Structure formats: structure tokens, C-alpha cells
Amino acid sequence: MTHARLLACHECDLLQVDADLPEGGVLRCRRCHGELYRNRANSLGNALALSLGAAVLLAIANSYPIVGLSVNGTLVETTLIGAVDVLYIDGMWPIALLVFLTTVAIPAVQVASMLWMLIPLRFNRVPWGAATVFRLARLAQPWGMTEVLIIGLLVALVKLAHIASVVVDVGLWSFGILMLVLAAASAAFDSRDLWARITALQNPGGQTGGSLSLPRGWLSAAQCGLMQCHDCGLLVKAPAHAQGLCCSRCGASVHFRKPDSLTRTWAFLLAAMVLYIPANVLPVMYTSSLFGAEKDTIMSGVVYLWTSGSWLLALVVFVASVAVPMLKIIAIAFLSISTQVHSRWNPEQRTRIYRVVELVGRWSMLDIYVITMLVALVQFKALATIQAGLAAVAFGAVVVLTMFAAMSFDSRLIWDADGPDHAGQLKHA
């Protein structure tokens, strides 16, 4: 049984009544104050227009060189795919794969999936395979890192400017505009509006579900025998045996709580802790030139930016590459321990910590993109060459593992220890 007029918060699972919002309005959870949804004007039309623009920009950005480096009349240029190819040839295929997926493949999947769903809807047709494509788009969303790539390119340009003349090419400008357009398309895309349109086309004149009154007190959906799909937001009544249940709308797996959430979180987190040490101790980059060879760690790169006068970029790199991974590990460990011991200390504050962890996770990829550009461009053979070190592989693994740890953690477990303030029962309106 679906419940059209009730919502369950994704972060604390509190059951609450849906509401009609004015244009641009935001509905927030009354317990943890997380955003439930936002009423966007012409959301699907705007998302379609922006996605078409993003598709064109993505093609241009990956077809033209990003930046060039000129030394004694020799010009070395590279596209993003060319930079990935250099890493692969150097034997750094894990980093090459990670960069390719996060900056080329996944943004392409994001754009293609939105166009796949939105173009048929524009002509009042139900998209073929909408459920599968929608889940694919949701899966890809956290891993598209175009905005991190842009900051990484700016840091690389500062470093390259001390080596030779830098030539900014079409690809860099295209990626910059793509970052803005892709972010705007993602912000405009409203999954509630999408599924409302699809449901209306599949069942013209049909009912979308019954209206239910809000129970008294603070009750979670799980306490009322309800589960909410984390992909499309559909609220369903759990059957007596809810093992292996799939959402009837998008086909995603539906659970009261993520299976083995804390176990998987600890597994990813402990692996990240182990790799964090070599990531910061071993050389992340090797530089060979007429003046000798140098080994650079992440911290030595920060020091170089600081001493060269680029103190703002030095601060950005330090925060993204040193502070953020360490603080993420500490924060996730704190959340896991406090949840495991059923702590009732300030669940709202702990939920805020979890939001921050999810928000900043991708920015740790900054140093990986800097290394990618430096390796691709500084290839002057006898004059100077740069190669990635093993620390780059370890650091990339730390970023991925901490993101997986954050995704595995179920923030609703924080609130389960708090329990309901008052008992209540669901009643039909």
C-alpha cells in the first residue's frame, strides 16, 4: 500500500505529513531539520534545457586540449583523456581509471540519463526503462566531480607557471562552464516531479494513493511498519516478510535500515585508516630535471604553494588533501561508535556532522587531479619529467573508501536510540 500524503525523512526516518509548497519553497523535517524536498518551478523543463547544454559542453571539453606548456619552442598540450592515457602508460592504471570515471564517464552518464528520461516526457511519452535509468543516475550522482577537477586544474596551473609558459585552451573554459551547467541541471532536476509525470502518463485519471493523518508524537516510518525508497522516495507498507523487498516504482532495494550498516562502515573505514599513512608518508610525485630528482609528498606540495606566494591555494590543498580525509575518518568513527553504543547525545548535531561528511567527501580528490595534469604536461624528456608515486594510489583509495564508508552509514540509526516521545497509531483520514 502506498501513502501519498505521508513522508519519511531520509536522515531520521520521522513520519510526517506532505504539504503543498509555494514556488521555490522548501519543506524540512520537523525533527532533524533536513531538507525533505524543494518546490522548483518548471523543474523538468529547466533540467532538460541545461542537460542539452551540458551534453554539448562535455563533448567540447573532452575533444579539445585543456592546457598547454611551452618550453624553448616546444609545446606540450593535453586533453583530459590524454592525461588519463599518460597515467595508464606509466603503470598508474588505478589512478587513470579513477580520474576517467569521475571526470569523463560518470558526468556523461549523468547527462545521458537525464536526457533519456526527460526527452520522452517532453513529448508526453513514458521513458523506456525509466526505473533502471533513474537508479543509474542516482548511483552516479555522488561520483561526478567536475567542480573538484576545475579547482585541481587551477592549482596545477599555478605550479606549471613556475616551470614554463602556460597556454590555456578551449577545454579548460569548456570544463569551467560545464561545471556550472551540470550543477544547475542537477539542482533543477526534481525526482518527485519526474515520477508524478510518469505516474500520470501511466495511469491517466487514476488515483495516486490514499490520504493518511499524521500520528501523534514522534514516530518513525519503521515503527509504523513503513519503508521509504531511498532512490525515488516512495513510501510503502512493509509485508510480513520484508526480505529482499524492491520498490514497486523504481525497482531499488528497500529496507527498514541499510543491511549491516555499521559492519560495512567499519570495514571501509579501517581500510582507509591503514592507507592514510602511506598516502601521506610516501612520495606522491617524482620530478626529474637537469637539476636532479625530487620526491614530493602531499605536504611538501602544500609548502611549495605557500612559499611561492600562492597561500590561498596552499590552504585549499591542505584542507582538501590533508585535513578533510583525516577529519572524515574521525567523524565517521565518532558516528559509528556513538551509534553502536546507542548514545542519545544530541542526535540532531550528529546528523549535521553526517551531512558535512557527505558534502565534503569528494573534495579530497583535488590532489589526484593536480597530479594528473602535472604528469601529463611535464614530459620534456631530457629537460624535465613528472611521474606519479605510489602515494597517489593510496590516497585515491582513501578517498574512495571514506566515501563508501559514509554511504554505508545509515543516519537513521542515530535516531533509533532516541525512541518515540509518545505512542501513536496510523489512522485513515
Q: Where are the domains of the chain?
A: 43-186, 257-418
Asked whether the beta carbons of 67 and 166 are under 8 A apart, the reply is yes
Distance CA(425)–CA(406), nearest Å, equals 33
H or E segment to which residue 27 belongs: strand 26-28
Q: Distance from CA of residue 291 to its chain's centroid? A: 41
DSSP 233-277: --EEE--SS-TT-B-TTT--B--SS-TTHHHHHHHHHHHHHHHHH
Distance CA(422)–CA(216), nearest Å, equals 7
pLDDT value of residue 118? 92
All three cell numbers of 180, joined, read: 556550472
Distance CA(357)–CA(365), nearest Å, equals 14
Asked whether the beta carbons of 57 and 174 are under 8 A apart, the reply is yes
Among 50-54, 223-227, 408-412, name the most confident range: 50-54
What confidence tier does 424 reach under pLDDT thresholds 50, 70, 90? very low
Average pLDDT (387-396) is 84
What confidence tier does 259 reach under pLDDT thresholds 50, 70, 90? confident
What confidence tier does 153 reach under pLDDT thresholds 50, 70, 90? confident
Q: Is 180 left (phi over 0), alpha (psi -120 to 50) or beta?
A: alpha
What confidence tier does 111 reach under pLDDT thresholds 50, 70, 90? very high
Mean of per-residue pLDDT scores for the chain: 80
* Residue 265: other Cβ atoms inside 10 A: 25
pTM (2 d.p.): 0.83
* Residue 99: other Cβ atoms inside 10 A: 28
* Cβ burial, residue 203 (10 Å; 0-12/13-18/19+): exposed
What phi and psi values does residue 209 have, to the nearest 5 degrees? 140, 165
* The amino acid at 421: D
Q: Report which of 410, 412, 135 is spatially closest to residue 246, judged by C-alpha positions.
A: 135
Q: What percent of the chain has pLDDT over 90?
A: 18
* Residue 134: other Cβ atoms inside 10 A: 25
Average pLDDT (126-142) is 88
Asked whether the beta carbons of 392 and 371 are under 8 A apart, the reply is yes
What confidence tier does 380 reach under pLDDT thresholds 50, 70, 90? low
Q: Is 116 left (phi over 0), alpha (psi -120 to 50) or beta?
A: alpha
- The DSSP letter of residue 215 is P
Place of cell 514497486: 248
Q: Distance from CA of residue 314 to its chain's centroid? A: 24
Distance CA(87)–CA(99), nearest Å, equals 10
Tens of pLDDT, residues 162-221: 766 777 888 889 988 998 999 899 888 888 888 888 888 877 765 554 444 555 556 777
Q: Alpha-carbon torsion 223, 225, 229, 233, what sign? A: negative
* Cβ burial, residue 407 (10 Å; 0-12/13-18/19+): middle
- Of the given ranges (204-213, 217-226, 262-271, 375-384), which has the lowest mean pLDDT? 204-213
Asked whether the beta carbons of 367 and 317 are under 8 A apart, the reply is yes
Distance CA(337)–CA(262), nearest Å, equals 9
What confidence tier does 333 reach under pLDDT thresholds 50, 70, 90? very high
pLDDT value of residue 2? 43
pLDDT value of residue 273? 92
Instruction: Assign a CATH topology to domain 257-418.
Output: Butyryl-CoA Dehydrogenase, subunit A; domain 3 (1.20.140)
